[in-house]
A and B are shown apart, each in its own frame.
Chain A
Amino acid sequence: MSNKLGQLTATEIAAALQRREMSAREVAQAFLDVTDTYGAFLHVDAERTLAEADAAQARLDAGETSPLLGVPVAIKDNISTQGRPTTCASRILEGYIPPYDATVISQLHGAGMPLLGKTNLDEFAMGTSTENSAYAVCKNPWDPTRSPGGSSGGSAAAVSGGLAPISLGSDTGGSIRQPAALCGLVGFKPTYGRVSRFGLVAFGSSLDQIGPFGQTVADVAAISQVICQTDGLDNTSLPDAPLGAMDLANASVKGKRFALPRELMSDAVEANVRASIEQAIRTLEAAGATVDHVDLPSLSLGVSTYYVIAPAEASSNLGRFDGVRYGAREEAPGHVESLMATRGKKFGHEVKLRIMVGTYALSAGYYDAYYLRAQQIRGLMVAEIDALWGEYDAILSPTSPCVAFPLGGFSHDPMALKQMDFCTIPANMGGYPALSLPCGLADGLPVGLHLMGPVRGDERLLELAAGVERELGCAPLRPGLA
């Protein structure tokens, strides 16, 4: 069953709720009624969603006007939800029901946004295609034979496929922005520390950040106002996390300066994506923006640096899965044997690979050559990028070097899939705010334009993106309507 509300943005639904054109229950029910043919959701609890919608309606009826009150939201299944399963798409967390809410979930409850369900992902957010999910294949609504990208593929497919008006994902090396690009959405990774990580199952703690998927910049800006808050439960939370004033309606690209790193428009970018980005650049230039080619040589080392640092942090973070306090357990005669059997049998292949890489990079004799060196190169990379902010408003590039690829298309070459993260990784290295927004179609599939701004520059980046969105004129971009 299709859903007429799927044609509305989150802010449009919020406005319709405020005008009493529909009730929060009707909105939630309309999204719950859509059959999930994309494998977007891992868990739905309709009764609970409707109860939350009724509570939101009571607040609407009491005259409350908070911006997204009553708008339902889908949540990546690595964000802890009290009373709702949280599996990280892993067998090791099968049946786990968190006894507490992540801070972002408490914030969404506070904003009166009913939770539609928990969305599919690459196991523990490790992947670029959502094919590493232990539970379900996730499909791209633009073409169900193709991947929605990853790791937040379910949150992207849910919004793109009209199963949710808005959603949350997490981004460690591009896991919000790349699926947003491949599904024709806006995906935003705020500055590291602006959104609390409390209750987000940790992957790479120095890189992880929660952020939203929406159909427009206005949608992601609206929900970012809800989730960007200082949190005493996260020691890396920024003291000045709340977003300041933004004027999206009057934002313009006129006089704005963009830097385009040659390393991110390399030969690895496929011709159809390159053509789409070049067209977008001409449009921005015609509107009074300047786009300069720049050299940031260390960005060519981004993938290698990331695949040392992220697995090193993951190997430590995933040490907590021991089959004692929660999750699945394989029985064996001794404690260590049980621990090893549990982890060996319940983690999937990619997760075990990354734990192995990280353990190796941190082990005696290799620490200096890999982990320490990667941290130094991370320092070089961030210094090169920071040197640009005096001169440029944003760094512009493709989000992904290719459009949505066929499911299984990289099963013979997992390294090729990892190498596709090179445009999105730099933002995580320096904690920069970054987003992907649709810039058109190539061979009928969405292309994402990537914008990155300086640390704490979230408000200006969102305004700039709103200006770019208006000039490009292609959001919201919906499958079947293009």
Chain B
Amino acid sequence: MPITLDEVRHVARLARLELTEDELRAFQTELDALLGHFQDLQAVDVTGVAPKPHAVALQNVLAEDVARFGLTRDQALANAPKSRAGLFLVPSIRED
């Protein structure tokens, strides 16, 4: 079943991407092509197969609990699009 424009709009919202109507239609076509390609995965019998989430077996890694150098406040703020008084500046998230 082809993906609908509303589904594309929903995914874009989840992904926090503001898209134009033209982009939404383009992604509808491209997502459809990719999802169609993924149909070959659905034909495989994976009963009882353990998922492999990583390239190699992961193990817990412990580090010594010692202080080490991090970034200074100035370094951390140096790349911020906006900062003031040692803080990152963002648009208000509450009604005044």
* Residues of A near any B CB (own CB < 8 A): 95-97, 99-100, 191-193, 206-207, 232, 235-236, 238, 298, 300-301, 303-305, 307-308, 315, 319, 323-329, 331-341, 343-345, 347, 349, 352-353, 355-357, 359-360, 363, 369-370, 372-380, 382, 414-415, 428-431, 455
User: For the complex, is B40 an interface residue (Cβ under 8 Å from A)?
Assistant: yes
Interface residues in B3-20 by Cβ distance below 8 A to A read: 8, 11-12, 14-19
Q: Measuring CB to CB, which residues of chain B are less than 8 angstroms from any residue of chain A?
A: 8, 11-12, 14-19, 23, 26-27, 30-31, 33-35, 37-38, 40-42, 44, 46, 49-56, 58, 61, 63, 71, 75-76, 78-82, 88, 90-93
Asked, given contacts A206-B55, A326-B80, whether A335 binds B90 with beta carbons under 8 Å apart, the answer is yes
Other than the known A99-B78, A304-B37, A415-B34, what 12 A-B pairs have Cβ atoms closer than 8 Å?
A: A95-B79, A96-B79, A315-B15, A324-B90, A331-B91, A352-B23, A353-B27, A355-B15, A377-B44, A377-B46, A379-B49, A415-B33
* Complex Cα–Cα for A15 and B33 (A): 52
Contact of A333 among B34, B35, B82, B91 (CB under 8 A): B91
Is B44 within 8 A of A343, CB to CB? no
B34 partner residues in chain A, CB cutoff 8 A: 307, 357, 415
- CB of B78, distance to nearest CB on chain A (Å): 6
Give the nearest-CB partner of A370 in chain B: B38
Name the CB-closest residue of B to A300: B40
The 6 residue pairs across chains A and B that have the minimum distance between CB atoms: A431-B55, A344-B18, A375-B51, A326-B79, A379-B52, A329-B81
Q: Are A380 and B18 in contact, CB atoms less than 8 angstroms apart?
A: no
Docked pose: A95 CA to B80 CA in angstroms: 10
Contacts of A340 in B (CB 8 A): 16-18
B10 smallest CB distance to A (angstroms): 8
Tell me if A304 and B40 are in contact (CB < 8 A). yes
Are A192 and B17 within 8 A (Cβ)?
Answer: no
Q: Which B residues lie within 8 Å of A331 (CB)?
A: 91
Q: How far is the CB of A125 from chain B (nearest CB, A)?
A: 16
Candidates A97, A349, A372; contact of B79 at CB < 8 Å: A97
A343 to B23, CA, bound (A): 13
Is the Cβ of B56 less than 8 Å from the Cβ of A193?
A: yes
User: Can you offer 9 A-B residue contacts whose CB atoms are under 8 A?
Assistant: A99-B75, A192-B55, A303-B37, A308-B41, A325-B79, A325-B80, A326-B81, A360-B31, A370-B38
Q: Is the CB of A304 within 8 A of B41?
A: yes
Q: Kindly count the residue-residue contacts between A and B in the assembled complex, taking CB atoms under 8 Å apart.
A: 163
Query: Are B51 and A338 in contact, with the CB atoms below 8 A?
Result: no
The minimal Cβ–Cβ distance linking A188 to chain B, given in whole angstroms, is: 16
Contact A376 B16 (CB under 8 A): no
> Majority SS of interface residues in chain B?
loop
Q: In the complex, what residues of A have CB within 8 A of residue B56's CB?
A: 191-193, 236, 238, 431, 455
A414 to B34, CA, bound (A): 10
Interface centre among B56, B75, B79 (most CB of A within 10 A): B56
> How far, in Å, is A482 (CB) from chain B's closest CB?
36
Q: Knowing A327-B79, A329-B82, A429-B55 are in contact, say whether A301-B17 is a contact too (CB < 8 A).
A: no
- How far, in whole Å, are A315 and B81 apart by their CA atoms in the complex? 23
Which residue of chain A has the shortest Cβ distance to B8 in the bound complex?
A356
Assess A375 versus B52: contact at CB under 8 Å? Given A329-B81, A345-B18, A414-B30. yes
> Would B91 and A359 count as touching, CB distance under 8 A?
no
* Residues A352 and B51 in contact in the complex (CB < 8 Å), given A97-B79, A329-B81, A373-B46: no
Cα separation A128 to B96 with both chains bound (whole Å): 49
Contact A359 B18 (CB under 8 A): no
Q: Select one of B17, B37, B92 contacting A334, CB under 8 A.
A: B92
Given the contacts A340-B16, A376-B49, A414-B30, A307 and B37 also touching, CB distance less than 8 Å: yes
Residue of B27, B31, B50, B91 touching A379 (CB-CB under 8 A):
B50
Whether the pair B14, A359 counts as a contact (CB closer than 8 A) is yes
User: Is B91's CB under 8 angstroms from A332's CB?
Assistant: yes
Quick one: which of A308, A332, A344, A347 has the most chain B CB within 10 A? Answer: A344
In the complex, what residue of chain A is closest to B78 when comparing beta carbons? Answer: A99
By a CB distance below 8 angstroms, the chain A residues around B30 are 353, 414
If A301-B40, A325-B88 touch, whether A356 touches B33 (CB-CB below 8 Å) is no
How distant is B92 from chain A, measured CB to nearest CB, in Å?
Answer: 7
User: In whole angstroms, what is the CA distance A193 to B54 when docked?
Assistant: 11
Across-interface contacts of A308 in B (CB, < 8 A): 38, 41
